[in-house]
Amino acid sequence: MLRSILSKMLIGQKLREIREGKNLSQGDIERRTGLLRCYTSRVENGHTVPSIATLERYARALEIPVYRLFYDSEEPPKEPKLHAKAEPEWGASGDHRRELHHFAKLLSQLDDRNRQLLMVMATRMVKRNHIK
């Protein structure tokens, strides 16, 4: 709850700082974004949290990158180091994808009784593998 209130206030304060720093009125922002001046006032005073799409509209109107609404430095933040890409899931591409498609086609041809039998067998195999 407190975090939500703080984020409302911080986004609004930052928006106001940048707008005033560029000598723009809320009316100027209204003309540039199409968003009502009273809405901008509500955002700047911490009463409303705009969506990402709305923040993008504000950023375009202020001629700044969106990150500036969240970040104080003039330079963009450093990109975080993410984990190495995991291998794609089986069946996502290539030969595996064709195999999966063929398997799905065969499954669709089974009657309900045989499909249920296959599901029971697969469930038991999974349980057996988890026990080991």
pLDDT, tens digit, for every residue of 86-123? 677 777 778 888 888 888 888 888 888 888 888 888 88
- Number of domains within the chain: 2
- Asked if 63 and 14 sit in the same domain, the reply is yes
Locate tokens 């005073």: which residue?
45
3-state SS track over 86-100: CCCCCCCCHHHHHHH
pLDDT number for residue 6 = 46
pLDDT number for residue 80 = 74
- Asked if 8 and 59 sit in the same domain, the reply is yes
- Asked if 63 and 26 sit in the same domain, the reply is yes
Question: Is residue 103 a part of any domain in this protein?
Answer: yes
The alpha helices in the chain, defined as continuous H runs, are 2-21, 26-33, 37-44, 52-62, 94-108, 112-131
pLDDT, tens digit, for every residue of 64-81? 988 888 877 767 777 777
Question: Is residue 87 a part of any domain in this protein?
Answer: no
pLDDT number for residue 131 = 64
**CATH classification at residue 25:** 1.10.260.40
pLDDT, tens digit, for every residue of 31-53? 999 999 999 999 999 898 899 99
- Asked if 102 and 54 sit in the same domain, the reply is no
Question: Is residue 57 a part of any domain in this protein?
Answer: yes
Under the banding of pLDDT at 50, 70 and 90, the label for residue 60 is very high
Question: Is residue 83 a part of any domain in this protein?
Answer: no
pTM for the whole structure: 0.55
CA pair distance 121, 126, nearest whole angstrom: 9
* Domain that includes residue 25, residue range: 2-69
- Asked if 6 and 53 sit in the same domain, the reply is yes
The one-letter code for the residue type at 131 is I
